[in-house]
Amino acid sequence: LAYRASLASGSLRDWFWQASQTGASAVPQTAARSSGISISREYIGADGRAATSFRTGELVTVKIRLRSFLSESGGGLDDLSVTDLLPGGFELADPPGTGPSGAKAFMRGEDRMQFIAPEMPLGEATVTYRVRAVTPGIFAAPPAEAASISAPGVQANGVSGRITIRQ
């Protein structure tokens, strides 16, 4: 982003500019990143097996696994914020007001599920929610992300993937 501006002397006090950019990276993340925790995600088809290809209308369970490698004050992590961007072609299948199993709190968006994970002692926790395959095509699956709200250095990203939805 480049912008050139010319200002008259003394006019800076009345000027304000802000720019921001959001979105998923166009470059797939092929390696997971972890610092104190790790996160992984898989899509479970109607047959109960992990898959990357689904039929239009199929109900898919999203399974997110979180693993903690450290504890805060010996009591575990209790403030992990998780964001899972949905691939194109999926929509949330559970009724409004319904969130991931085991989540302390959640926020549903058209393109994402965000939640506070259950308290995590050293070890692993699994959280699930459901989506429905609605639009045929091949879609990028951005990596799931997790971060401690109180300890900024505790964070993780999963890996990107590809999802195919067929007629």
CA separation for the pair 64, 85 (Å, rounded): 12
CA separation for the pair 161, 104 (Å, rounded): 27
Give residue 2's pLDDT. 61
- The pLDDT-based confidence of 151 (bands split at 50, 70, 90) is confident
Mean pLDDT of all residues in 138-158: 92
What is the value of pTM for the model shown?
A: 0.81
Number of Cβ within a 10 Å radius of residue 138: 14
Is residue 141 within 8 Å of 133, Cβ to Cβ?
A: no
- Sign of torsion, CA 123 126 127 131? positive
* Secondary structure class of 80 (helix, strand, coil): strand
Q: Is the pLDDT of residue 105 over 70?
A: yes
* Secondary structure class of 17 (helix, strand, coil): coil
Give residue 19's pLDDT. 72
Q: Read off the pLDDT of residues 33-45 as tens digits, 9 standing for 90 and up.
A: 999 899 999 999 9
Bridge partners, residue 129, by sequence: 62
How far the first Cα of the chain sits from its last, in Å, is 40
Nearest to 112 by CA among 163, 164, 50, 62: 62
Is residue 112 within 8 Å of 64, Cβ to Cβ?
A: no
Q: Read off the pLDDT of residues 33-88 as tens digits, 9 standing for 90 and up.
A: 999 899 999 999 999 999 999 999 999 999 999 998 865 545 567 788 999 999 99
Q: Which residues contact 25 (CB under 8 A, 6 or more apart)?
A: 142, 160
Q: Is the pLDDT of residue 143 over 90?
A: yes
DSSP classification of residue 143: P
Q: Give the rounded distance of the alpha carbon of 72 from its chain centre.
A: 23
Give residue 3's pLDDT. 62
